[in-house]
A and B are shown apart, each in its own frame.
Chain A
Amino acid sequence: MMITDADGFTRAFMEKIGNPLGGALPTPQDPYTK
């Protein structure tokens, strides 16, 4: 399970407790699904 992004409240909360989150990671697309 790869965590890629978080919402604003989560980012604010994580920053408040000392674990600031970075930028969002792109979610890869499987080449088989169109």
Chain B
Amino acid sequence: MNRSVGSQQSVVPSGLPVLPGNGFKDPTKTDFKKRHIFDVSNGITVTHDPAAEAPKGPISAVEPPKMMPKSEVSVAPVQPAWVAFDRKVLRFDCYFKESVHESRLENYRIRKCVLYYYLEDDSMHVSEPKCENSGIPQARQRPARRAHRRETSPLPLRSLRSARALLATRRAGCPGCRTPAPTVHRPPRVCQGERKGTVFLKRHRVPKPDGGFYGVGDLTAAARVEKGASGGCWPTRERRRGEREREGGREGEAACAAVRARGCARHGRSERHRDALPPPLLLARRSASRSTSTRA
């Protein structure tokens, strides 16, 4: 079917696309007059647009457009996470224990926070609601930015499985440090474990389970911890060594008995001084070493 294109009504042969260069003039054409488009009829301007006129030929001569057959293979629509989880945020209520070193009136504070986990990009941020007249600086918002595991990879949701365990089993406690959930007194470790996943907690187990007071038997180990500057964690090796010395040596027993008999406030049942160095052991050891050196 030939088509006429352009202002000069060039004819494009059938089979060729309607592109410039494919049109050819009819050499047999002798009438080159243009059609009359604008006219005035009874004082009113009218137009006679040939393109707007109805085709003169039969309607069936117009070829219907051909549609491509629909493929039979059904593809399940998969939405990306940023579309499927758009504006969907998980909210967890949480708290952490803040140690207070600058005041004698209090040892720690319980600060309640809200943890928001954004599903669209696996990021989170922790917000602390404002507490009126709390006196705590920056009480409105704690780190209001999204925390990532590393610089590029965000924290996955599976890292919060410990939270599920904490919620499900109250007595079993945290699966990483095996600390009973209601009496966790080591917020930095638990906090870092929550952020970096359970691998961190498995790596850094806190053998001191209840975070309570040190017993009399732990005084030797506490002295060694203080002497060795072991970074605050309660080392199992030092504890075992202290137990061995306590069982076998008279020095430890004497020191522990002295502490027990004295009952001073420093080594009493005070949580503030639980990390304090028990001096009687060191004094006893120093005196023992001096006596041995003088004898020698």
Contact = CB atoms under 8 A, between A and B. Distances in A.
B173 to A, nearest CB: 10
Interface stretch (B60-68, B70-78, B103-111, B257-265): B103-111
Chain B, interface size category, equals 35 or more
Interface size class of A (residues with CB under 8 A): 20 to 34
Secondary structure type dominating chain A contacts: loop
Would you call the interface of chain B mostly helix, strand, loop, or mixed? mixed
Contacts of B187: 1-2
Contacts of B109: 30, 32-33
A20 B168 CA distance: 8
Contact of A13 (B90, B107, B182, B195): B90
A34 to B, nearest CB: 11
B93 A5 contact: yes
Interface of B: 88, 90-96, 105-110, 112-113, 115, 119, 126, 157, 160-161, 163-164, 166-170, 181-182, 184, 187, 190-191, 194-195
18 contacts: A1-B94, A1-B115, A1-B194, A2-B95, A2-B187, A3-B163, A6-B91, A9-B91, A19-B164, A22-B168, A23-B167, A23-B170, A25-B170, A25-B181, A27-B110, A30-B110, A32-B107, A32-B109
Interface of A: 1-7, 9-10, 13-14, 17, 19-30, 32-33
